[in-house]
Amino acid sequence: MSATRSFEVAEADLNGAPGVAIRGEIDLDAVPRLESALDAAIRSTAGAFVLDLCDLDFLDSSGLRVMLRARARLAREERELAIVCPPGSVRRLFEVVGIADLLFLYASREDAAAALVPAA
């Protein structure tokens, strides 16, 4: 078994928008903690929400389902989900599954921050 970083969720606001950064691996074991963290963060904030996946090493289908559920919840509240996901294996999963075009994906925190600038 390869050594990987353990799953961690941390508050990670970006350019005034609330959000979380997810580090390590999201698999079936991590899903309950991920769901709880996302639900709490979404419930306690307003406006666009940022999901920073820059330090995510692995994402399986159960983790992907949690992210899509968070996106749906935000959409019901007319809020957008900005996902910071640089090129790599996690980004490829979004593309292979065919949902990359349905999401607001940004290659870097800087790109996402620029997109989150309020309209003048």
User: How many Cα atoms within 13 Å fall on the side-chain side of residue 7?
Assistant: 16
What would the pLDDT profile of 15-72 be if each residue is shown by its tens digit? 999 999 999 999 999 999 999 999 999 999 999 999 999 999 999 999 999 999 999 9
Question: Which pLDDT score is estimated for 32?
Answer: 96
Please, what are the domains in the chain? 8-114 (3.30.750.24)
What would the pLDDT profile of 28-38 be if each residue is shown by its tens digit? 999 999 999 99
111: three-class secondary structure by DSSP? helix
Give the global pTM.
0.90
Q: Count the Cβ atoms, other than its own, within 10 Å of residue 92.
A: 13
User: Can you tell me which residue has the tokens 């294996």?
Assistant: 89
User: Can you tell me which residue has the tokens 């999201």?
Assistant: 26
